[in-house]
Structure 1
């Protein structure tokens, strides 16, 4: 890693992270269809297909946010870095939204089942998982 005395790399990372975070909020709460939300965690192919459809629109929303960021600021991003970052975001999003892997992680960490099921715990863990991986995705996108 090389020194960046002007803070340019940090500013690019911050702008990319904000764009991905905004895209996440829009894609998860506005773009996702009710059918995708209801079915993406179901077992078998119906659940896999619903989750893949959601992740596709989620990733396209993130890409669109980056396009707007680039158009609005003149920022230049490496296409390979963006590809890797959006892939990390998409794969991690799919894993969490299939529900079982996230629930297994919560159980392994000893999270209270009542909080998970009735206290908003699964939603909180889902969103924090996504935001954590958005941070990693933004690091790659901003390379």
Structure 2
């Protein structure tokens, strides 16, 4: 029996649920404020204790890395626990590769420099006006960001399902 479609569906659902939690509830406010900072476009960020700091490229990279590590750890824990409960065994290399795909592409989008990967893609595909939309209860940049993450999580789920078995 081919277990890959079952593993793919489970992996996608688990990765998506974990990502949504990690990106919104799990991400620290500080990381969300600072992760796109550069020396050319520094950002004033506020720590949880209320102290303010101006962050440049190095701090932006650290904030983005911290967020992506938290994000990837959440996805890894949910994927491991969820597949165990469902009786699905993922190949360890496929599991690690799936988290790498999701984490690395998440960092690339969230770092937003130079001039933002997603902003450049939006311009190249004729979606720049939508990217800049911030009206009618909608934020185009956020929608395209989430679409980017969902797309890569789909690939990550396909990677995770390679050589999967059910118990």
Q: Report the Cα offset of residue 115 of structure 1.
A: 5.0
TM-score, with length taken from structure 1: 0.90
Q: Deviation per CA, 1:6-59, whole angstroms, max 9, x where unpaired?
A: 552111100010000000111001100001111111111111111000000000
Counting strand residues as a fraction of each chain, which structure ranks higher? 2
Match of 2:125 among 109, 114, 122: 109
Counterpart Cα distance in 2 of 1:87 and 1:53: 15
Residue equivalent to 2:35: 40
Structure 2: state its 5+ residue gaps: 39-56, 163-167
Counterpart Cα distance in 2 of 1:60 and 1:20: 11
Residue 59 (1) aligns with residue 72 (2): yes
Counting helix residues as a fraction of each chain, which structure ranks higher? 1
RMSD: 1.4
Residue equivalent to 1:83: 96
Structure showing greater radius of gyration is 2
Structure 1: state its 5+ residue gaps: 1-5
Count of residues in correspondence between the two structures = 138
TM-score, with length taken from structure 2: 0.78
Q: What SS is found at the alignment partner of 1:42?
A: coil
Which segments of structure 1 move beyond 4 Å, counting only runs of 4 or more? none
